[in-house]
Every structure is written in C-alpha cells, then in structure tokens.
Structure 1
Amino acid sequence: MTDSWDTIADWYAGLLRTGSAMHEFNRDVLLGLLPGELGGCRVLDLGCGEGIVARALAARGASVAGIDPSPRMIEHARAAAAGGPGTVTYAVDDGCVLSTVAAESVDWVTAGLSLNNVPDLDAALTAVRRVLTAQGELAFTIPHPCFEAPHASWTQITDRPVRRVVGDYLAEGFWRSDNPEGARRAGNQHRTLSTYLTALVRHGFALETVTEPSPSDQVAAAQPHRAGLPPFLAVRARRAA
C-alpha cells in the first residue's frame, strides 16, 4: 500500500504526542517569526496536521483556524484539547484552495512544514494572499531545500565526522522517502530555495525575514550528526499592497 498522510496519521500523531525534538524545534522556530502576544489576531494554520502549531498559537491568544487535507489528521487535532486564552477550530481543506476561509479574513497565515507538501505552490500562494488582510503576513518553515533534497543521506569515511550527502538538488518534483519511520514516506514536493523565494515575490509578498536556524540542543542531542546543518528554512513575508 502506498502511504498517504491519512495512512500515517495515527503514527504521526503518536510521534508528536510522545515527544519529537525535531517537530518541537520546528514549532518553536515558526513561533519565533510571530509576535509573542497574539490576542485579537486571527491566524490560519495551513497544513495543521495534528495541531502542534495551532495549539501553541492559541496559547498566545490567537483565534486560530487549522486546516489540513487529511481527515484523519483533523480528527487527531480535534481530539487534542487546546489551552486558552485563544481558540482553535479545525476543518478539512485543500491548502491550494482554502475554500473554507473567506477573503481578507486573517491577519497571519502559518505553515509549519506544509508548503513542501502542496502540489501547486503558485495556487497555494494565490490562496494565501486572498485570505490575508491588507499587510497580513505569512510565516512558514520547510525542510531546508539544500540539505533535504530527495534521497539525501549520511556517510562517514574512516574517522572523519558524519557528513551529509545531498542528492540531485536541482531536480524539482514529487518524491517519497524510503525511510519507513519518516514522515516523507507519505510524499514531499522538492523545490529549490530560489523557487520558493521568487514565487513569494511573484505573488506580491515582501520578504521580511529569512533564517536558517541551527539545530536546538535537543535536536543535536537526539541526532548529533545534524549539529552542523540547519534542518529548516524559515521565512516571514508580508502581503504587499
């Protein structure tokens, strides 16, 4: 059977609920792009999965709408209570369409490790721009395109440190990981760094922040070979006039 986000949803939710240093680091990196206080803000969490980011946004006071194309993921998200002072609602929706979200209705769109899953980046950015208020902002993280290219691997030669072996970085498109314990066995869209950044500009976004965060102490402890490389690219962009 070919895996999908629906078929791995139970495994994925269990992984995050029992503690995943990488996913917790991603959540914290994404939250670092946003204000510490979000009271009165309306936030759309695109590709919310089991709700790890949506719950954290509500804890900062935001009114959050989480959407994901996987019904099973949304079931897991709804089953996890979100502490206030904000609120969270969830809906099954396509990130390339956002049919459940009204035009100019949210102040922020967050996308934690999800834009790399949408099949049509241009359609997704068109939808995001539509639902953002004037001067609204998009904050997202993706697996770092340079180091998480399709079928990248690790190698060690004699007594030298473990090194990353990068695959065909310029070959964009859909691929599946052969790691039976990896989320990307459900599929992933590889795009170059320049594809993401130029698409934002083309769709009327002004770049505000682009960061390549070093792994947290927790990530480095769990996966020491990652200590010298940024696992994610993090971007914040404002809807331009």
Structure 2
Amino acid sequence: MTFVPKDVVFLPESTAAFPDRWVAMNVFARTAFGLSGEIFRLLGTLESDPAAGGDGPFRCWRVEYFSNEDGLLADPSRYRRAPEDWQELSLDRSALIAELKKHCILIDDEVAYRERFKPKRNLLDRERFGNFHQQHGQHMALTRRKDPADWWMRQKFTADQLSVRSDTLYGAIQSKFLERYTQERIGAGTLVVDLGCGTGVYSNLMASRGASVLGIDPNEAYLTVARTNAAPGTRFETMNIGQAGALDRIPTASADIVFMSDALLFYFVPFYPGQAADIGVLLKDIRRILKPGGSFVSLEPHGAFYLMPWLGAVDRPFVVVTEYLNKTFGIVPPLSQLIREVTQAGFAVTDMREIVPADYFENVDPRGHHFASEFPLWHLFEFRSLADPA
C-alpha cells in the first residue's frame, strides 16, 4: 500500500505571481517536492481511495537540491526558495507516484523506509541517507568533484585563508563573537594552546590581545600558511591531536587556556567510519596541559539547532527538530552528552553562551540572520580544570 509517511509536512509557497504552489517536505529524509493543489488533494485521499484523483497530467515541480553546496552555513532546508527557479513538470499518475516516492513523500514499505536512515556503507551508497558528513562527502566527491575538506575550509575563510569570511555566518557569529570574547577574556601574558588551529586565524586574534599562543594542528599544509602569517606571540607545531602521546611535547601545567573551535564534534560523530579520535585521550591531555584552575574553552556548533531546516517567514522563523539525543543525520552531540563527557574527565562548567549573529548580517542574508538570532547555531562552553585527584 502506498501512503504518505508521518514524516512529511506541507508548506504553502504560493505568491500572487506564482499561485497554487506547495512544498511537501520529508523533514527526516531532508527531501522535498513541489505540488499543485490537485496533487495535495490527491494525497489526502490516496490511502483511503487509491483510485481517486484521476490519471493526470498533474502539474508539479522539482524543487529539491543539496542547498549546502551554496555554502556550509547556507540555508539547509534543501528546497529552492524562489518559485521562478522551480523546474516545472507535467506528469501522468504513474510518473507522479514514482517521483513522489523518489523524494520520500510517498512510501510503500515502512520497514524498508526506516532502514534507509542507517549510516552509508560507502561513498557510492545512495540508498541509505547517512549523516550530514556522509551526505556532504558523497555530494562533493561524486557530484561536484571537489575535495570536501578543502571545500569546508573555503566556506569559513577567505581565499588567502588569513581571515574569516564576513559574508557567511562564520563571520557574523563566530568571528564577531570571538573579537569581543577575547578582549574580555585574554590579556597580556595569557598562555594559550589552540588545538586544531588550522591556518592560525584565531591564534593570531588571541595573540593580538597580548597572549602567547601555541597553535597545534595535524595538517602540515594549514600550518605552512599559519607560520608564514604568524602574528608576534604565536608559534605553530604539528601534532596528531587525540592520539595517545601526541601532545606529550606540550609541558604539563603550561597553559591558562586551551581553546578549540569546530573540532570537538568529531570526537562524538566521526567524519568517516572508523576514524580514530579518542575524546578520553584528548581531555586527559587538556587537563595535564592546563595550569591548576585553567580553562578549557570550547566553541562548537549547537547541539540542537545546527543544520536544522530554516522554516517559516523570513522574520518569524521556526524549525522542526527531528532528532536530539539519538543522531542519525546530525553531527553534533546533545548538550547533555558533551557536558557529561567533559565533567567526568575532571572539569566543571563555569560559563556557557549561545551565540547569535552581529546586526550587519541582516543585510547579507535576512533569513539566516533571523533564524540564527532565534535558534543559535553555536555555543561556547568554559570548563574549569579541577584539582588533579592524583
């Protein structure tokens, strides 16, 4: 029996210039299809009367696309917002049913459908949805023919990799927040270890506040850029963070602050299956490196709202949260899991901030600005290292 799963919501998208348009969105599968009113009505009777609605042709639209190809922090809703960009189709009944099944607006078998939410088995697996990392890697490698890791860097940083792009939410949220936060928190003589420093952008920012900063990253190509453009007070070393013994060269009790951004999530949801990243090893190293009473500062994507669809009016956003404690699509741990792992490793929470965009971004991306102003996309935690029980 063919039916609409309970995972589907219908969004009115009609305008005066483009009347009679709906989007059917499967909020779990992250798929969408454009419908006319006659199809909307057909779906309402399909389960009770499979022959209802006639044979067509039916007017409909392809609207779905991998919207994060426009940018890692672009609108993740995966359907084209502008009706003039919709690809119009005229389909008979059988072709329409096939298209709706392709986009998971209709299904035949609940068990087989649920099976699709498991992790991808490999790069070529198009049957299972997998998490965002797996979907993104597959799309970039097979469709865009680009290296996903290189593409990610270009979403956050300018082409020369020396500053954060102001035309994305990275600049409007992360960078603007850290400009203020480092001014409050860091002064002359502060000793900082920046784990996962990349090309050293935030290491240089902290050094500009008077800190002495040791930037650590496993990627030698990034560190080449960092060393070439190092601010006074910074130095950079290559180490495989999260592996036993990798940080042994950093002296014990040598740092006032250990800083990480956009990196801790990989210790909860690996970027690829079998990735070796041991958060226990990492946290033990961080405690050893910190001075007594020193702080571990973690700036990460938000455990509830990151990559959730941006729905509603531009200035009255809402979101459908489809998962929180048990992640299949998501790549960020729930707040409770993050806090529990860190506190059980010998830290106490001393501060937590949910970060929203700077005002200027409303003129760059109104929808992104209003959504992220209501549903934060990053949070910052300060964890204080407790006395070593040994």
Pick the TM interval, shorter chain. Answer: 0.7 to 0.9
The one of 197, 202, 206 equivalent to 1:53 is 202
Counting matched residue pairs gives 222
Structure 1 residue 78: deviation in Å?
2.0
* Residues 219 and 113 of structure 1: CA distance in aligned 2, closer, same or farther (over 3 Å): farther
Give the aligned partner of residue 179 of structure 1: none
Q: Write 1 or 2 for the structure with the bigger share of strand.
A: 1
Structure 1 residue 147: deviation in Å?
0.4
Give the aligned partner of residue 211 of structure 1: 353
Give the aligned partner of residue 178 of structure 1: none
Distance (Å, rounded) in 2 between the aligned partners of 1:39 and 1:145: 33
Letter in 2 for 1:155: L
Distance (Å, rounded) in 1 between the aligned partners of 2:156 and 2:357: 21
Q: Secondary structure at the match of 1:116?
A: helix
Q: State the Cα deviation string for residues 128-172 of structure 1 (Å, max 9, x = none).
A: 111111111111110001001xx5322348x98443333422234
Is 1:163 matched up with 2:318? yes
* Residues 5 and 74 of structure 1: CA distance in aligned 2, closer, same or farther (over 3 Å): farther
The one of 19, 23, 41 equivalent to 2:170 is 23
Give the aligned partner of residue 125 of structure 1: 283
Q: Secondary structure at the match of 1:66?
A: strand
TM normalised by structure 2 equals 0.50
The one of 366, 381, 386 equivalent to 1:224 is 366
Q: Secondary structure at the match of 1:170?
A: coil
Structure 1 residue 50: deviation in Å?
1.8
Structure 1 residue 219: deviation in Å?
3.7
Structure 2: stretches of 5+ with no match in the other structure: 1-140, 268-276
Is 1:202 matched up with 2:344? yes
- Between stretches 9-18 and 206-215, larger displacement belongs to 9-18
Give the aligned partner of residue 184 of structure 1: none
User: For the aligned residues, what is the CA RMSD?
Assistant: 2.9
* Residues 163 and 223 of structure 1: CA distance in aligned 2, closer, same or farther (over 3 Å): farther
- Between stretches 214-223 and 27-36, larger displacement belongs to 27-36
- Between stretches 160-169 and 199-208, larger displacement belongs to 160-169
Structure 2 matches for 1:171-210, cutoff 5 A?
171-172=326-327, 189-210=331-352
Q: State the Cα deviation string for residues 73-124 of structure 1 (Å, max 9, x = none).
A: 2222223242x4xx11112222314244222221110112221234333322
Give the aligned partner of residue 90 of structure 1: 236
- Between stretches 123-132 and 71-80, larger displacement belongs to 71-80
Distance (Å, rounded) in 2 between the aligned partners of 1:103 and 1:6: 34
* Residues 233 and 92 of structure 1: CA distance in aligned 2, closer, same or farther (over 3 Å): same
Q: Secondary structure at the match of 1:209?
A: strand
Distance (Å, rounded) in 2 between the aligned partners of 1:168 and 1:140: 23
Distance (Å, rounded) in 2 between the aligned partners of 1:36 and 1:228: 26
Q: Percent of counterpart pairs with the same letter?
A: 26
